Structure 1
Amino acid sequence: MLQNASIVVVDDEPDILSMVSDYLGRDGYHVSRCANGAELDRTLDKTSPDLVVLDVNLPDEDGISIARRLQATRRVPIVMLTALNDTIDRVVGLEVGADDYITKPFDLRELSARVRAVLRRAPGADGVPAAPREPRPEQKRPRNVACFGEAFLDFDARRLIDRNGVDLPITATEFAMLSTFAEHPNKVLTRDRLLGDAPEHGSGCCDRAIDIRVTRIRKRIEVNPTRPQVIRTVRSVGYVYVPPN
Structure 2
Amino acid sequence: MGETKHILIVEDDPVVADVVAACLEDAEFETTITSSGQAALNIISDTHVDLCVVDLGLPDMDGLSLTREIKSRTSIGIMILSGRGETTERIIGLEVGADDYLGKPFEPRELLARVRSIIRRTQPSGTQATTQTTVPSGAQRSDMSFIFDGWKVDLASLEITGPDGMQPQLSNSEFNLLQAFIEHPNRVLSRDQLLDLVHGDNTPTFDRSIDVQITRLRKKIESDPKAPKFIKTVRNRGYMFTAKVTRD
Q: Secondary structure at the residue paired with 1:32?
A: strand
2:135 matched to 1:125?
Answer: no
* Counterpart contact for 2:100–2:204, Cα < 8 Å: no
Specify the alignment match of 2:231 in structure 1. 231
How far is the alpha carbon of 1:87 from its aligned partner? 2.8
TM-score by length of 2: 0.78
> Cα–Cα, structure 1 residues 38 and 117, in superposed 2: closer, same or farther, change >3 Å?
same
> Cα–Cα, structure 1 residues 89 and 188, in superposed 2: closer, same or farther, change >3 Å?
same
* Counterpart contact for 1:150–1:222, Cα < 8 Å: no
Specify the alignment match of 2:210 in structure 1. 210
Specify the alignment match of 2:46 in structure 1. 46
Structure 1: gaps (5+ residues): 134-141
Structure 1 residue identity aligned to 2:8 = V
The CA distance in 2 between the partners of 1:149 and 1:57, in whole Å, is 43
* Counterpart contact for 1:51–1:119, Cα < 8 Å: yes
The CA distance in 2 between the partners of 1:3 and 1:190, in whole Å, is 37
State the Cα deviation string for residues 4-39 of structure 1 (Å, max 9, x = none): 222211111222211212222232322211122133
The CA distance in 2 between the partners of 1:148 and 1:25, in whole Å, is 46
> Cα–Cα, structure 1 residues 169 and 14, in superposed 2: closer, same or farther, change >3 Å?
same
What percent identity do the matched residue pairs reach? 35
The CA distance in 2 between the partners of 1:53 and 1:220, in whole Å, is 26
Runs of 4+ residues deviating >6 angstroms:
128-131
The CA distance in 2 between the partners of 1:130 and 1:37, in whole Å, is 19
1:1-245 equivalences under 5 Å are 1=1, 4-122=4-122, 124-126=123-125, 144-147=144-147, 151-163=151-163, 166-195=166-195, 196=199, 197-199=201-203, 201=205, 205-207=206-208, 209-245=209-245
> Cα–Cα, structure 1 residues 242 and 119, in superposed 2: closer, same or farther, change >3 Å?
farther
* Counterpart contact for 1:71–1:97, Cα < 8 Å: yes
What is the RMSD of the two structures over their aligned residues, measured on CA atoms?
2.9
Q: Secondary structure at the residue paired with 2:226?
A: coil
* Counterpart contact for 2:158–2:175, Cα < 8 Å: yes
How far is the alpha carbon of 1:165 from its aligned partner? 5.3
TM-score by length of 1: 0.79
* Counterpart contact for 2:75–2:131, Cα < 8 Å: no
